């Protein structure tokens, strides 16, 4: 599946990239480009779900991510963000609500702006994409650069259209940036 980012509907990524230590010139190039995702989703022989992503934009080197949705930490290194350790899992609407509750993992682990992660999601049978009817994918990444990023993936109503969206929070120290990435995938 090939999915471009809708730069008109998405929030600017420049503040988050600055917080992640990306230089001004590269941030401007990324901001001017349409990022494309090539996505493959599958279960392996042991039943673990995977999402493999290739992100590309004209004039920039692509990045490859291999996510196993089992919440185990895995190292990843690329030209843009350096070395990070990420983990991913399926998440139901109830689990998302519990995650951002006052005593939930996002709060107890100190994830910044965790309430934003739970905002605006569509719920129901049409959204159930996980093996047990889960409606979202949760990703959490810690970088050697001292920042972390948390994302929830799913579907939201954007201007009357059901679209694939990522609610993203990037944090470093006591600063954080929250933004939505909206894609031209109408599910």
Domains for the chain: give ranges and CATH numbers.
Answer: 2-186 (2.40.128.20)
| Phi, psi for residue 117 in degrees, rounded to 5 | -60, -30
- Claim: this prediction has a pTM higher than 0.75: yes
Residue 4 neighbours by CB distance under 10 Å: 14
Confidence grade of residue 12 (pLDDT, cut at 50, 70, 90)? very high
Average pLDDT, rounded, for the chain: 90
Confidence grade of residue 186 (pLDDT, cut at 50, 70, 90)? low
Question: 135: closest CA among 187, 178, 170, 179?
Answer: 187
pLDDT digits (tens, 9 = 90+) for 132-166: 889 999 999 999 999 999 999 999 999 999 999 99
pLDDT digits (tens, 9 = 90+) for 68-121: 999 999 998 887 788 999 999 999 999 999 999 988 888 888 888 989 999 999
Over residues 14-31, the mean pLDDT reads 91
DSSP H or E stretch at residue 28 = helix 24-32
| Coarse DSSP helix, strand, coil percentages of the chain, rounded to the nearest 5 percent | 20, 50, 35
What is the rounded end-to-end Cα distance, in angstroms, of the chain?
Answer: 12
Residue 140 near residue 150, CB atoms below 8 Å:
yes
Which residue matches tokens 């990444």? 141
Residue 8 near residue 180, CB atoms below 8 Å:
no
């Amino acid at each position: 599946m090939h999915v471009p980012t809708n730069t008109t509907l998405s929030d600017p990524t420049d503040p988050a990239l600055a917080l992640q230590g990306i230089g001004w010139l590269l941030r401007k190039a990324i901001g001017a480009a349409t990022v494309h995702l090539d996505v493959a989703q599958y279960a392996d022989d042991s039943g673990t779900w995977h999402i493999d992503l290739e992100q590309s934009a004209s004039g920039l080197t692509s990045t490859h991510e291999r996510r196993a949705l089992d919440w185990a930490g895995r190292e990843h290194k690329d030209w843009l963000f350096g070395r990070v350790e990420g983990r991913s899992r399926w998440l139901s609407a109830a689990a998302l609500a519990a995650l951002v509750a006052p005593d939930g993992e996002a709060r107890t682990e100190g994830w910044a702006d965790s309430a934003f992660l739970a905002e605006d999601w569509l719920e129901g049978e049409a959204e159930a994409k996980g093996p047990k009817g889960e409606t979202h994918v949760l990703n959490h990444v810690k970088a050697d650069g001292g920042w972390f990023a948390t994302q929830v993936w799913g579907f939201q109503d954007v201007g009357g259209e059901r679209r694939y969206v990522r609610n993203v929070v990037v944090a470093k120290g006591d600063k954080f940036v929250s933004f939505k990435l909206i894609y031209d995938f109408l599910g």
